[in-house]
């Protein structure tokens, strides 16, 4: 019998703790497959952030360091500067990256650090119970905006990829999602290109992945996928915002 698929070597056997319908799991798998395909599983160093993915160090079969809330890109900078031969990635949520850690994100990108950021945007602080994040949509209900986010009180959803696009040090910036097989394939390609940015020493690579949080959105898993496709994508358009290799960017779309 021919084996057609297997669990990536970059994943351990620890069962994920994520809620049913949470797409953190799919994103972990894609990242692990990409590590395997680039032959980087033995070489990679990952930074787990603070958020639901805090236990990422249990799931990835590589060295990992757990960083304080928002500090992952700065910690990654330190590691990469000391070990430029290693592949260094961070895995961060939108609270971690877009809220408390937006300063680190912008400055790591602006310095053109050769690191790869996997940015999981689920429009809420998942781990602490679904409070409003900077990325929460206008009108979206969260535990700190029970009747919905309003511009007057809370301002606008933060477009992280669009912000980073403006920085010369950011080599690759893309926004994708994992709500369908075709979107999953696009995300995989985006990850590969973000890996290339680091491997080729082009600067910071970031893939923003729109992800579900069915528990805090109070939706079933299918409704959560629909919410991304219909609501989130309207606020956060998918696509490649920046690419060191324009050819690949066009193919990617």
Ligand X SMILES: Cc1ncc(C[n+]2csc(CCOP(=O)(O)OP(=O)(O)O)c2C)c(N)n1
Q: Which of residues 39-98 bind ligand SF4 (CB under 6 A)?
A: 52
Q: Helix, strand, or coil here: 49? A: coil
Tell the burial category of 233 from Cβ atoms under 10 Å away from its Cβ (0-12, 13-18, 19+).
Answer: middle
With binding defined as CB under 8 A, does residue 147 bind another protein? yes
With binding defined as CB under 8 A, does residue 107 bind another protein? no
Q: Which of 213, 228, 232, 240 binds ligand SF4 (CB under 6 A)?
A: 213
Distances (CA, A) of 177 to 69, 110, 218: 24, 25, 20
Q: Which of 12, 19, 184, 219 binds ligand SF4 (CB under 6 A)?
A: 19
Which of 237, 105, 242 is closest to 174 using CA atoms? 242
Q: Which is nearer to ligand X, 69 or 189 (CB)?
A: 69
* Piece in contact with ligand SF4 (CB under 6 A), picked from 154-162, 180-188, 198-206, 212-220: 212-220
With binding defined as CB under 8 A, does residue 131 bind another protein? yes
With binding defined as CB under 6 A, does residue 18 bind ligand SF4? yes
| d(C-alpha 83, C-alpha 230), whole Å | 42
CA atoms within 13 A on the CB side of 87: 24
**Beta carbons of 242 and 172 less than 8 angstroms apart:** yes
Q: Which of 100, 138, 163, 199 binds another protein (CB under 8 A)?
A: 100
Tell the burial category of 108 from Cβ atoms under 10 Å away from its Cβ (0-12, 13-18, 19+).
Answer: buried
Residues that bind ligand X (CB under 6 A): 50-53, 69, 93-96, 120, 122, 124-128, 133
With binding defined as CB under 6 A, does residue 176 bind ligand SF4? no
Q: How far is the CB of 160 from ligand X (least distance, A)?
A: 12
Q: State the residue number with the nearest CB to ligand X.
A: 93
| d(C-alpha 33, C-alpha 27), whole Å | 10
Q: How far is the CB of 133 from another protein (least distance, A)?
A: 9
| d(C-alpha 92, C-alpha 95), whole Å | 8
With binding defined as CB under 8 A, does residue 144 bind another protein? yes
**Beta carbons of 138 and 151 less than 8 angstroms apart:** yes
With binding defined as CB under 8 A, does residue 68 bind another protein? yes
Q: Which does 104 bind (CB under 5 to 8 A by kind): another protein, ligand X, ligand SF4, none?
A: none
Binding site for ligand SF4 (CB under 6 A): 18-19, 22, 24, 52, 122, 126-127, 213-216
């Amino acid at each position: 019998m021919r084996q057609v698929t297997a669990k990536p070597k970059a994943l351990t056997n620890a069962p994920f703790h994520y809620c049913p319908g949470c797409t953190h799991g799919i994103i972990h798998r894609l990242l692990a497959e990409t590590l395997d395909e680039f032959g980087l599983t033995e070489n990679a160093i990952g930074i787990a952030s603070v958020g639901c993915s805090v236990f990422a160090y249990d799931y990835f079969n590589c060295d990992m360091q757990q960083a304080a809330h928002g500090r992952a890109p700065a910690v990654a900078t330190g590691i990469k500067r000391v070990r430029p031969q290693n592949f260094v990635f961070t895995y961060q949520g939108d609270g971690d990256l877009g809220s408390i850690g937006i300063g680190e994100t912008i400055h790591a990108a602006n310095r053109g650090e050769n690191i790869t950021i996997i940015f999981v945007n689920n429009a809420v602080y998942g781990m602490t119970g679904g409070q409003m994040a900077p990325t929460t949509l206008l009108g979206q209900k969260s535990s700190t905006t029970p009747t919905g986010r309003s511009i007057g009180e809370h301002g606008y959803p933060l477009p992280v990829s669009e912000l980073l696009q403006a920085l010369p040090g950011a080599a690759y910036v893309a926004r994708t999602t994992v709500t369908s097989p075709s979107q999953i394939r696009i995300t995989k390609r985006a990850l590969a290109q973000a890996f290339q940015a680091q491997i080729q020493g082009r600067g910071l690579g970031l893939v923003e992945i729109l992800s579900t949080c069915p528990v805090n959105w109070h939706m079933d898993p299918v409704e959560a996928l629909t919410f991304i496709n219909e609501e989130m994508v309207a606020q956060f358009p998918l696509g490649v915002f920046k690419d060191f290799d324009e050819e690949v960017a066009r193919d990617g779309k």
